[in-house]
Amino acid sequence: MRRKGFSPAGIRCAFAVAATLWAVVGLFSITGLAGQARQVTAAGSYSAAQATRGKTLYSDQCVACHGEMLEGVVGPPLSGSDFLVDFGGHPVADVVQKIQSTMPQQAPGTLTRAQATDLTAYILQFNKYPGGPDLTDATATQFTLPGGGATPAAAAAAVNTSGLPTVTATANLAQFMRAVTFPNANIIFNTQLYDPGKEKPKMPIPYDYVLWGKTVYYGWEAVDEAILALRDTSPMLLLPGRRCQNGRPVPIQNADFQQAVKNLVAFTDELWKAAQTRNQETVSDLSEKLNDTCANCHKVYRDVSASGGASTGSLTADRCNANPKGGGVAQ
């Protein structure tokens, strides 16, 4: 049979088809074996043992910022479509590298490669990617996460372009508590001495802005607002980057510190219900429980001076943060 030659147009068409097929093979191959048209996923890229170790490490180092369900608290989500917006289409190695280089927020770069790999394995398991052999540096570069659910335009729109500042920790822990937690708690403690339902406070003479403010928002309204302020601001005690008065990072990775914050937030629900009764004794009875809720954290973490008392002013504190290795309170 006589071979038929290709016209120039036919040659260009054949070349285009070949190039397209080569691109498709490259896109769907995760092992380098051309012709295996498998969807590019992270399936089978980690072991159950790695995920188990990663879960324990996550609870210790990551849960305060990223949440128990990896939903994101003050840190970004590590699950679902929001996670894939950041890492979809990237090799799993990028996740490992991101964790090792920048996490945890309060002590970036302190995790080993093995720990970062275990954490990645747990994230993959939580996102329901099937397990398999151990994840290694080599396989982490071969396995690629599926493309994110959002289009590039949508992802770009999600970037903060409003010009508004993002929430960052500026005050140290002592300054934050003295400015926010302390005065609002004292409004509740004051119900032990005064009935919020009594008559309006008198205008201060001589004039004083702080005292005048108490004549504008006072009584049970002030109690309500103090409770709501405690509820809304207490999670900011876990904001990454905040420092203790002594300069050490706030121990947001410590389970007991996290629990103390959760207990305070949960207790505001009880306080709110009591305040709605507009009964001084009902709220006053709970004020002692509020004191205990605060003291449970203070007795372990509160900054103290060299003499052992509560630190005030510019005294150098020798407590607040836990041992960097998690071995208890640094004294």
For the domain made up of 173-301, the CATH class stated in words is mainly alpha
* pLDDT for res 108: 83
State how far the alpha carbon of 307 is from the alpha carbons of 228, 293, 314, 316, in Å.
35, 25, 14, 10
Q: Are 76 and 86 in contact (CB under 8 A)?
A: yes
And the tokens for 298?
């203070």
Lowest mean pLDDT among 83-87, 158-162, 173-177: 158-162
Residues 135, 223: Cα–Cα separation, whole Å:
54
The whole-angstrom separation of Cα 133 and Cα 121 is 11
- Tell me, what's the pLDDT at 223? 95
Give the angle 98-103-108 at the CA atoms, nearest 5°: 115
Q: What is the dihedral of CA 48, 51, 56, 58, to 10 degrees?
A: -170
Tell me how far apart the alpha carbons of residues 67 and 73 are, in angstroms, rounded to a whole number: 6
CATH architecture of 48-156: Orthogonal Bundle (1.10)
Report the SS3 class of residue 294.
Answer: helix
Inform me whether the pLDDT recorded for 278 exceeds 70. yes
Q: What is the mean pLDDT of residues 137-157?
A: 65
**pLDDT recorded at residue 320:** 79
* Mean pLDDT, residues 79-84 taken together: 83
Q: What is this structure's pTM?
A: 0.51
Enumerate residues 6+ apart whose C-beta is below 8 A from 45. Answer: 92, 124, 129, 132, 135, 139, 140, 143
pLDDT confidence band for 222 (50 / 70 / 90): very high
Q: pLDDT tier at 162 (50, 70, 90 boundaries)?
A: low
**Residue whose C-alpha is closest to residue 301's, from 287, 318, 289:** 318
Residue 76: Cβ within 10 Å count = 14
Residue type, 276: Q
Domain boundaries, the chain: 48-156, 173-301
pLDDT in tens, 245-273: 888 888 888 888 999 999 999 999 999 99
Q: At what angle do helices 280-301 and 255-275 cross, to 10 degrees?
A: 170
**Which range has the worst mean pLDDT, 41-50, 104-113, 314-323?**
314-323
153 or 175: which leads in pLDDT: 175
The more confident residue out of 201 and 160 is 201
pLDDT of 163: 62
Residue 164 pLDDT class (50, 70, 90 cuts): low
- In terms of C-beta density within 10 A (0-12 exposed, 13-18 middle, 19 or more buried), how is residue 112 classed? exposed
pLDDT value at residue 44: 67
Average pLDDT over residues 83-103: 87
Residue 241 tokens, joined: 């980057």
% of the chain at pLDDT higher than 90 = 36
pLDDT confidence bin for 143, thresholds 50/70/90:
confident
Structure tokens at 142: 């071969």
Please tell me the least confidently modeled range out of 36-40, 75-79, 216-220, 256-260: 36-40
Distances (CA, A) of 177 to 78, 107, 233, 260, 270: 30, 23, 10, 14, 21
Q: For the segment 288-328, what is each residue's pLDDT rounded down to a tens digit? A: 889 999 998 998 888 765 444 454 444 444 677 544 443 33
Q: At 249, give phi and psi (nearest 5°).
A: -65, 140
The burial of 202, by beta-carbon neighbours within 10 Å (0-12 exposed, 13-18 middle, 19 or more buried), is given as exposed
| Shared fold status for 48-156 and 173-301 | no
